[in-house]
Structure 1
């Protein structure tokens, strides 16, 4: 990868820990890539001098790892790296910590060189 940014959206929620991204191999997505899923409804930022709306803050909900990349879409699942057997193999990890809701239309962005998250898991 040349360091270019790959962005897209959540296109489908397959189950509690698997989602589909609307970008695939034609956009450079490969199995093993990690994407941040960001909220699309963050607070509005307003310029205090002019009152002009400057945009919305985007907050990262969680990260997902691609395990199946097709030409126009990719399937990804939540994961957590830990120091135990499952973390070493980077197997999807179920946890009751920090349940997060992911919605169709949430923005996704490739995270260059990243492969871990803070243990957050999705209920999508």
Structure 2
């Protein structure tokens, strides 16, 4: 089994859905939450030596897996509210906002939660 904790965006399906290049064969399960990071980050340089110390990654958004195939998984953007529903940790689709986040094929995804709660599927 390969590592499910890191992968890449393989496809941007629509404004709220993306596909990551990790699936059931890598241990990915419905309910897992991944952070999506841009391909480039901010370089941190030591002011005394000029030596590059590393890069700070910029998290673009978080997605929750709802459909797992052997080699890929589909995930929705979501928010957790601070109200009563948030106490129960129900995922809700993110409200459209004026802040546009651009997700690109090849962006890095990293596992942030393995809380694989049952994901409700709409049947109708």
Aligned to 2:100: 99
Aligned to 2:57: 58
Q: Which runs of 5+ in 2 are unaligned?
A: 117-124
Separation in 2, partners of 1:26, 1:51:
43
Separation in 2, partners of 1:15, 1:105:
16
**Greater displacement, 5-14 / 46-55:** 46-55
- After superposition, the Cα gap between the structure-2 partners of 1:72 and 1:98, relative to the gap in structure 1 and judged at 3 Å, is same
Separation in 2, partners of 1:5, 1:32:
13
Asked if 1:9 is matched to 2:19, the reply is no
Give the conservation status (yes or no) of the 8 Å contact 2:33–2:62: yes
Asked if 1:46 is matched to 2:45, the reply is yes
Separation in 1, partners of 2:21, 2:32:
14
Give the conservation status (yes or no) of the 8 Å contact 2:4–2:28: no
1:105-120 alignment, distance < 5 Å: 105-112=106-113
Separation in 2, partners of 1:112, 1:80:
14
With structure 2 as the length reference, what TM-score do the two structures score? 0.74
- After superposition, the Cα gap between the structure-2 partners of 1:51 and 1:5, relative to the gap in structure 1 and judged at 3 Å, is farther
Residues matched between the structures, number:
112
Aligned to 2:122: none
With structure 1 as the length reference, what TM-score do the two structures score? 0.74
**Greater displacement, 32-41 / 50-59:** 50-59
Aligned to 1:23: 22
Runs of 4 or more above 3 Å deviation: 47-50
